C-alpha cells in the first residue's frame, strides 16, 4: 500500500505533509507527497471561493481527493472551512502542536506607535485590546516573507503561529509567546487535519493510528463553535479547547476589528458539541451577532 498525500507546495505545508509521511512510515505505510498550487497561493481574491478566505487554500486539494488523484490531504486545520462535505471526512487529528500565537519584534520591544503587521482580523482586534497605542499594517505572505519584511523595517513586529515556527525550525531572536488571555488562537491553530474520502476504508484505517483523541475532541469543539457563528469567512473570532479531567473546556471570543468590543465565553462540558453550544449561546447573548453582522456588512 502506497498512499499519495495531497498538500500545498509552501515550505510550511510541505514540512507538515512530510511529518505525516514519516509517521505513516513508522506504522509500516509507505506514502509520497503530491504538492499542489491552490487559488490562495496564486493570490486569488476572497470572492473567488464560496467558503471565503479559508476555501482558497483547500479547494484544489479537495478536488484532487475527490477525483482520486490523491488518497489523503494534509491541511492546517485552521484553513478548513467550518462546513464539511459528506464525501470527505477528517479521518485523523495527530497530537496538536502549540496553539499559541507568537509576537515577534525586531529588537525585543513593542514601543508606542510601533507598526504591527498582520492580515488577521482576529489578531488585529485582540492586539488593539491590550495595546491600543500600536499601529496596524496589513501584511500577507508566508512565514519567511513576513519575517523578511520585519527584518527590512517595513513593520516593527509580526504575529505568527507558534506551530508554524516550530514545524519550520525557525527560532526568531525576539519572540514572545502570547497567552490565551492575551490572544485567543484561531479555531484549529496548531492542529493538522488528515482528510480522506468517506468511502475509502483502507486509507481511513491506515490513518487511524495517527489520531490523537484529545486533539480531535478539541478541534471538534473549536470547529463546532466556528460553524455556529457562521465562520466560513475571515472573521474576528477565536476559539481554544482542551480536554481536562474528561471534560471539554472551551474559550471563544468575537471582537470588533478595531478592538472596541470583545465578547468572551468560557465554558466546560462533557462533549465537544455541548461545549460549542454553550459557548455560542453566551457569545450571541453578549452581542456577537451584531459584531459579526457589521463585519460581514
Given a contact cutoff of 8 angstroms between Cβ atoms, the answer to whether 71 and 125 are in contact is no
- The three cell numbers locating residue 189: 491553530
- Active site annotation includes 79: yes
Whole-Å CA distances, 115 to 104, 108, 138, 148, 161:
12, 14, 10, 15, 18
Spatial distance between the Cα atoms of 272 and 250, rounded to a whole number of angstroms: 9
Catalytic residue among 67, 71, 79, 86: 79
Angle between helices 272-285 and 213-228 (to 10 degrees): 30
Sheet with 237-244: list strands edge to edge.
237-244, 247-255, 262-269
**Phi, psi at residue 93, to the nearest 5°?**
-125, 100
| Residues involved in catalysis | 79
Amino acid at each position: 500500500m502506497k498512499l499519495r498525500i495531497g498538500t500545498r507546495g509552501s515550505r510550511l505545508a510541505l514540512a507538515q505533509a512530510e511529518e505525516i509521511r514519516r509517521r505513516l512510515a513508522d506504522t509500516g505505510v509507505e506514502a509520497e507527497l503530491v504538492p499542489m498550487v491552490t487559488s490562495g497561493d496564486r493570490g486569488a481574491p476572497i470572492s473567488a471561493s464560496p467558503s471565503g478566505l479559508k476555501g482558497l487554500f483547500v479547494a484544489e486539494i479537495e478536488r484532487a481527493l475527490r477525483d482520486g488523484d490523491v488518497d489523503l490531504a494534509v491541511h492546517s486545520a485552521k484553513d478548513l472551512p467550518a462546513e464539511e462535505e459528506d464525501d470527505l471526512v477528517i479521518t485523523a487529528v495527530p497530537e496538536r502542536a502549540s496553539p499559541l500565537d507568537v509576537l515577534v519584534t525586531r529588537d525585543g520591544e513593542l514601543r508606542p506607535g510601533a507598526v504591527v503587521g498582520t492580515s488577521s482580523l482576529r489578531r488585529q482586534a485582540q492586539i488593539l485590546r491590550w495595546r491600543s497605542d500600536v499601529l496596524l499594517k496589513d501584511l500577507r505572505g508566508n512565514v519567511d516573507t513576513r519575517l523578511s519584511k520585519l527584518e527590512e523595517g517595513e513593520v516593527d513586529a509580526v504575529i505568527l503561529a507558534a506551530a508554524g515556527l516550530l514545524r519550520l525550525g525557525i527560532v526568531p531572536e525576539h519572540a514572545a509567546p502570547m497567552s490565551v488571555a492575551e490572544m485567543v488562537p484561531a479555531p484549529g491553530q496548531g492542529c493538522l487535519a488528515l482528510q480522506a474520502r468517506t468511502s475509502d476504508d483502507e486509507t481511513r484505517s491506515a490513518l487511524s493510528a495517527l489520531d490523537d483523541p484529545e486533539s480531535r475532541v478539541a478541534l471538534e469543539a473549536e470547529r463546532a463553535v466556528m460553524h455556529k457563528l457562521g465562520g466560513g469567512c475571515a472573521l474576528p473570532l477565536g476559539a481554544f479547547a482542551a480536554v481536562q479531567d474528561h471534560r471539554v473546556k472551551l474559550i471563544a471570543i468575537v471582537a470588533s476589528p478595531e478592538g472596541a468590543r470583545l465578547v468572551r465565553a468560557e465554558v466546560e462540558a462533557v462533549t465537544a458539541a455541548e461545549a460549542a453550544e454553550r459557548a455560542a449561546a453566551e457569545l450571541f447573548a453578549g452581542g456577537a451577532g451584531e459584531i459579526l453582522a457589521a463585519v460581514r456588512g
